[in-house]
Amino acid sequence: MGNIVLITGGAGFIGSHLADQLLEQGHHVRILDCLTAQVHGEARDRPAYLSPSVELIRGDIRDPAVVNRAIAGVHGVYHLAASVGVGQSMYQIADYTSVNNLGTAVLMEALSAHPVERLVVASSMSIYGEGLYRDADGQQVPGRRRSRAQLAQAQWELHDDAGRPLEPIATHEDKLPDLSSVYALSKFDQERLCLLVGEAYGIPTTALRFFNVYGPRQALSNPYTGVLAIFASRLLNGNQPAIFEDGQQRRDFVNVHDVARACRLAYDSTAAAGQVFNIGSGHAYSIAEIAERIGRAMEMEVSPEITGRYRVGDIRHCFADIGRATEVLGFTPQVAIEDGLVELADWLPTAAAVDHTQEATQELRRRGLTI
């Protein structure tokens, strides 16, 4: 029998795939998860995809008694528990701050009393805000926030002070954070709190900044999940994928199998302690291209709706430089986007998909969070 490993939030999308890989390695996997209705449905049952070999503790990451029971006897922890969604975080401010910030504090206080051999925390590319750019002189510069006035005029791209266009380039880990949403702020807090307490108590800790993760087991009925899952849910319900701005904003899409493997590599690497790593594919795709690709994979010819609207907290371009993860962790993505989308499309007919995108968009609009 291998080590006992705890995954907080492990009954969800990424955690369940990580659990499968850890079980294959011979570990005992324990999961702490509250099975929130937004992800798991109103019944909040144990997911059918979760291996029967997994020990599941149903409880709240903010409950010290539950957390102490969950960490009892474990050798290492993957901290994935979090409320997820940029848009929703901008109006469920107390909830996101409570689950993500307070929940992490409760976990770290428990680990300060009972240190483990290893801790890996899930961070997010959202902490970067805008990615890195190259200016007209060839210099690397951080992206700056776009003003509401600029966005109201549909001036989507970034320019320097002289009005010259900036060219997006891959973003590395040394870019300073620019926290443009409550979700981003909470993920940065999770990352720094784990690294800080880990160093203080001798717990080797690594933070992984996930980019846009996709694959089977995403919560298709959650309108604040990954954009690929939202597009798939729209298509399954006979609706057009709706895209903000002009659809040319660029992101990095990384397959969940690669992300789970990166988690394992980080856990096993002594050199990774105290560091942060981008976990992405290293490729950039426009959102419009991704909508068309998932449509083709599902064999559905539905053109996306380009709304020309803007959502507060969104950024224009951000995609990953994964050089550090490759050098230190030995991480290289193995799932090509074409293959990953075929796997996702094959899984979709087995999943429940209630399209709540319109209600979510209306809620953001009602609160003045879209332009």
pLDDT in tens, 167-194: 999 999 999 999 989 999 999 999 999 9
C-alpha separations of 116 from 37, 189, 244, 348, 352 in Å = 30, 21, 43, 38, 38
Instruction: Output the CA torsion 272→273→278→281 (10° steps).
Output: 40
Whole-angstrom Cα distance, residue 260 to residue 265? Answer: 9
pTM attached to this predicted model: 0.94
Amino acid at 327: E
Active site residues: 183
**pLDDT tens readout for residues 192-226:** 999 999 999 999 999 999 999 999 999 876 766 77
Closest by Cα among 287, 267, 292 to 277: 267
Closest by Cα among 15, 52, 53 to 33: 15
Which domains does the chain possess?
Answer: 4-366 (3.40.50.720)
**What is the predicted pLDDT for the residue at 52?**
96
Mean pLDDT value across the chain: 93
Dihedral angle sign, alpha carbons of residues 31, 334, 207, 26: positive
Residue 236 has pLDDT above 80, yes or no: yes
Tell me the longest C-alpha to C-alpha distance in the chain.
63
**pLDDT tens readout for residues 107-163:** 999 999 999 999 999 999 999 999 999 999 999 999 999 988 899 899 999 999 999
**What is the predicted pLDDT for the residue at 223?**
67
C-alpha separations of 110 from 68, 206, 247 in Å = 6, 18, 44
Whole-angstrom Cα distance, residue 175 to residue 128? Answer: 7
Cβ neighbours of 147 (radius 10 Å): 10
Q: Which residue has the higher pLDDT, 367 or 296?
A: 296
